[in-house]
Structure 1
Amino acid sequence: MTTEVAHAHDEAEPSGFAAPPKPARFHVVSERRTRESLTDLRISDLATFLSVVRARSITRAARELDVTPSQVSKTIARIEEKLGRSLVRRGTRGVELTDSGEGVVPLVETIFEQLGRMERDEREAPATLTLGATSFLCSALVPAAIRALPEHRVRGVELPAASLRAHPSDGIFDVLVVTGSARRLLPAWSVASLGTLRKGLMGSPRLAKKLGKGPVSPRALRDVAFLTPVENLGGQLVSTEDECPLSPGERRTGHEVQTLACALESAADTELAVFGPVCAARRHIAMGSIVEIPVRGWDVREECLLAVNPDRVLSRVRRALEDALTARLLDLEAT
């Protein structure tokens, strides 16, 4: 009996109470819809709404915004129509917020906080300058660019010479450091000479000893294997020129590598020869792992150019970069 009474009470109890409300889900859906509607409104309209909220008066808000009270009223009406609810009402103490208005204010304030944060981040973020160069020139010159442009974030991108010549029009680079042969490929860019790079034959002390003292004859190099450049162009490996006075048909190609740094490291441990900018081997030469091998009649110099996209780089930035890279190149050639 007790069990039956208890059971009957349990069944009857809900009939005396209203179904439990579900405010949480309704609030989330309502806030989401309100937020979505707010994103379709003009920022200026939302700013006017906040001015009315803070001034507690249509007239005072209009005075602060330097518009007529009628314009402010129309703006509030436009927002209310978009949201489908009343946000303010006129009272004895001026404008008061409705319950819906109280709920909308935090959302509008959040929008302006986020916009302000974005504006501050954009204002405080350093300008980016993307510099493209071959591996050697990138590692040699990017430090100087960083020092010369403390207000910029410098991005140094290493690419083979042939790839650099193909990239100016794709919008990736602001600045390119290229050799003289690329000048004609950059007609729309501002191009200035940074100086010249002296190029020469280099190899290990063992190779130099094998070739003998003094400037060697070009004929003596016919049996020497060279490390020559190779590039990945569109998924295909392509042998490229190192500008050596001996053509590929006049010398032996031993191995191919993509970067000058790899070529010098390989030459230091073998009897392979490398032709390239002598200053690129300055550290190897200082350590004694690489030596320059003079060749009779060879005096090869290559112009180094700074190419700047004038639509993306300010004149003062270009001048600062040109001065810094010119000084750096002179320093490299002197060592």
Structure 2
Amino acid sequence: MEIHDTKIWTVDKIDGKIMNCPQIEEASLWIKKNEVVAFPTETVYGLGGNAFSNEAVERIFAAKGRPGDNPLIVHIADETQLNGLVSHVPEQAKKLMEAFWPGPLTLILPKGEHVASKVTAGLLSVGVRMPSHAIALALIQKSGLPIAAPSANLSGKPSPTTAGHVYSDLKGRIPGIIDGGPTGVGVESTVVDCTTDVITILRPGGVTKEELEAVVGNVQFDPALHDHKEAPKSPGMKYTHYAPNAPFVLVDSDPEFLQNLVDKDKACGKKVGILTTGERKDAYHADVIIPCGYRSDLKSVAHSLYDALRAFNETDVDIIYGEVFPKKGVGVAIMNRLEKSAGGKVIKEN
């Protein structure tokens, strides 16, 4: 692939005139040329390209090293951009748009005739969302194109929540990164399938099952979240994701049991890391202890999750143990990401 000098465009003042700032202008020119640019959203940083161009989408896959059967999400700035992207919008989807757009919710809809075939990985549906981040919206509006964008990281690594994370992974692989500071939610958007009779969650994220049900009634989780035999309809369903460099294992136990595992590994000469929370960081003795938010506030855990996982890559630990969290509210999204990071490896006390 062609190697670029990766430029960083810093946008530190977000106001109503942002679309006309020179950084957004320059970045949008790359999008119009079917190149790729990294940019912040309210969830994580995305790696964006023209959703109508297979050439641009191929560059996204090449930069990330992403498997070609893993579909992308298309980002829009207003609902008129659905024209050509989708063939129609079901009534349930319209209710969800009204309630949660702009915001961290992706809707799987019947695809339209103009969306690039590589965006959908050959599927008859396409994922679409309207981000709420001012920089993302400005880039889409200025380019005049819907932007296909997965997370702006090397495939399989923790998603980026700062421009520095993006640069660490993709420097020399993409033309530029718009630096808009740290992201907010910290985990990717919730993805729901609106082509089924019952709204189905394909990937848990910033919008919870309970919040969805308050708008459209019964909502179900897709069994494919745990059984990946079919082609994925959403990013994050099929492959191991979000993994730090060292082996990562989840431990479903009290702190004493986890500490016993640490002690056994240290007795064998291993350097051990622990992913924990602010409440428990002083309960352990290990080589590296990284707290990730507070157990009493799971949104803080989601916000800090990828930064904490990436922080272990700056250490020399041989193995990382991570605590588990209750699968309620945003805890469902947190555990989805941690289980992916661990490749399904969980040690249970009982």
* TM-score, normalising length: structure 1: 0.22
* TM-score, normalising length: structure 2: 0.22
**In terms of Rg, which structure is larger?**
1
Compare the two structures and name the one with the higher helix fraction. Answer: 1
